[in-house]
Structure 1
Amino acid sequence: MVHIDQDDGFLDPAVYGDTIAEAYDGFYSSPDQTVGAPGTGATAADFLYARAGAGPVLELGVGTGRVALPLAAQGVKVIGIEASPRMLARLREKPGGSDLDLKLGDFTELDVPAASLSLIYVVFNTFFMLADQDAQVRCFTSVASALRPGGLFVLEAFVPDVARYDHGQCVQVERLAGESTQLSAAVHDPVAQRIRHRRIVLGPDGVRTYPADLRYVWPSELDLMGRIAGLELAERWAGWAGEPFTATSGYHVSVWRRPSV
């Protein structure tokens, strides 16, 4: 059994973002990388555009704008909140990035007017970066307050698979490219539902480590959080193109609605 240093605490999402900001697009934009649920950033933007209504919409953990920029390019007013200053700096450098309404902060408490948004979304497991169940429930409650009646909350995340951890750990080769080797190392705490993950890149320039801690949640627990916040499940798919969600799906795109009355 691997030893987990409990003194390290849960990694602040801002640390994750600041550490990976310069490399993020390289990791998740190359053709051989699978990012979250099936579909590209453009496919996700199409899915969200079809549900955005009159807007505006809010992305939680906007990052470098992989989804926000193609969505805004379709004429939707996009607000983005992000914990990492370096991620926001990268986004502002991109074409269209300076046109977004960007806010620095976490997304457990949303600094937006009540009932002002038609759609709020969070993609690529970013919701799991909230440290515990209490923080995740607070996020759902804040989202519900910020949505207009009939507004939607869209969340993309993996379906937990505890079988992939042998004696509480998992090490995989993610990529081999020229002189570079990319490894994924993770340890699993099933009681706290936490994964401590480190991406390790070895190459001619030395060794780089990119840390990320996740508190994962099963879809059924997310549905309960939604009910606590006053939201109702409206849709669940296995990908952004509307693939059916089944017992074998590795990802889900779930949509909750704030009731109209």
Structure 2
Amino acid sequence: MIDEDGYFGERVAEQYDQSSSPLFQNDVIESTVSVLTELANGGRALELGVGTGRIALPLARRGVPVHGIELSRAMVARMRAKPGGDAVAVSIGDFATTTVDTKADGAFSLAYLVYNTIMNLTSQKAQVACFRNVAEHLEPGGCFVVEVMVPELRKLPAGQNIVPFHTSPTRWAYSVYDVTTQAMTCHYIEVSDEGRGEHREVPFRYVWPAELDLMARLAGLRLRDRWEGWTRKPFAEDSAQHVSVWEKPIS
């Protein structure tokens, strides 16, 4: 259900960190933070969609000053309740358009979007605006990093538009694709111990690597690196995701 916190209100926030997803494994977080620390290069970092601080908090513990942009106050409240949660400044709003004052502390050397968060912007216009917004916040030589899935259209059977991605006795999840608009809606169904079923859906817009490169170019950024993941394994035709790094030219 959508409210002032978007699709990530209190009910989602209270369960978010309980996920069994590999994203919350220590080695995944460590490899992500290590790459981001290197790219920050001693400067400040801007996280778009900072959430409950899965990445921002360990990055701040590495000595990188982090400022987050987040629409969901419920998610931010969860981060604030964690040790060190007050170390990350947060601006509440849509990360495609929300700006951070850089006059006092200077521009950012790094901005980043992790775990498919770019797809929470459900139109191409908003995704383009996000790149331009980031470029305005970066110092010359600064980097913008995006971690996002490669669209799974090859998994679509002929004549169908649904890809399931989780099944269990009490939980089912699947994505519905509209290949004409690049819209993608994730549906989550969960059955409680009492046998009551609940349904939640979240809209996304899937985006191709080459399309992101064009958005970056429109914002004055240029591709620096693209890997399959945070271990920097080379991106290949069978890669399910990518971590891409664009750089703001110095001159």
TM-score when scaled to structure 1?
0.87
- The code of the aligned residue for 1:251 comes to Q
Note closer, same or farther for the CA distance 1:13–1:161 as it changes in structure 2 (3 Å cut).
farther
Q: Secondary structure at the match of 1:119?
A: strand
Within the alignment, does 1:62 sit opposite 2:50 as a pair?
Answer: yes
Provide runs of 4+ in structure 1 moved above 6 Å.
none
- For 1:83 and 1:113, the matched residues in 2 are separated by 17
Note closer, same or farther for the CA distance 1:168–1:13 as it changes in structure 2 (3 Å cut).
farther
Within the alignment, does 1:147 sit opposite 2:138 as a pair?
Answer: yes
Which residue of 42, 46, 67 corresponds with 2:30?
42
Within the alignment, does 1:119 sit opposite 2:110 as a pair?
Answer: yes
Q: Secondary structure at the match of 1:75?
A: coil
- For 1:227 and 1:13, the matched residues in 2 are separated by 32
Q: Is the 8 A contact 2:91 2:100 kept in 1?
A: no
| TM-superposition CA deviations, 1:179-216 (whole Å, max 9, x none) | x6221122110011011111222231533333221101
- Residue identity (%): 41
Which residue of 200, 224, 233 corresponds with 1:210?
200
In structure 1, the partner of 2:17 is 25
Which residue of 217, 230, 235 corresponds with 1:240?
230
Q: Is the 8 A contact 2:182 2:206 kept in 1?
A: yes
Within the alignment, does 1:220 sit opposite 2:227 as a pair?
Answer: no
Q: Is the 8 A contact 1:172 1:185 kept in 2?
A: yes
| TM-superposition CA deviations, 1:152-190 (whole Å, max 9, x none) | 00000000111223411233434x4xxx62211221100
What is the deviation of 1:12? Answer: 7.7
In structure 1, the partner of 2:181 is 192
Which structure 2 residue ranges, 5 or more long, are not aligned? none
- For 2:110 and 2:216, the matched residues in 1 are separated by 15
Q: Which has the higher contact order (CA 8 A, sep 6+)?
A: 1
In structure 2, the partner of 1:253 is 243
Q: Is the 8 A contact 1:173 1:181 kept in 2?
A: no
Query: For structure 1, which segment, 199-208 or 228-237, has the greater mean C-alpha deviation from structure 2 after superposition?
Result: 199-208
Note closer, same or farther for the CA distance 1:68–1:225 as it changes in structure 2 (3 Å cut).
same
What is the deviation of 1:14? Answer: 3.2
TM-score when scaled to structure 2?
0.90
Give the count of matched residue pairs. 242
What is the deviation of 1:118? Answer: 0.4
Q: Secondary structure at the match of 1:17?
A: coil
Q: Is the 8 A contact 2:165 2:175 kept in 1?
A: no
Within the alignment, does 1:170 sit opposite 2:163 as a pair?
Answer: yes
Which residue of 81, 88, 101 corresponds with 2:76?
88
Which residue of 51, 62, 69 corresponds with 1:74?
62
Which residue of 122, 126, 142 corresponds with 1:131?
122
In structure 2, the partner of 1:52 is 40
- For 1:13 and 1:160, the matched residues in 2 are separated by 29
Q: Is the 8 A contact 1:110 1:146 kept in 2?
A: no
- For 2:66 and 2:97, the matched residues in 1 are separated by 18
Note closer, same or farther for the CA distance 1:173–1:107 as it changes in structure 2 (3 Å cut).
closer
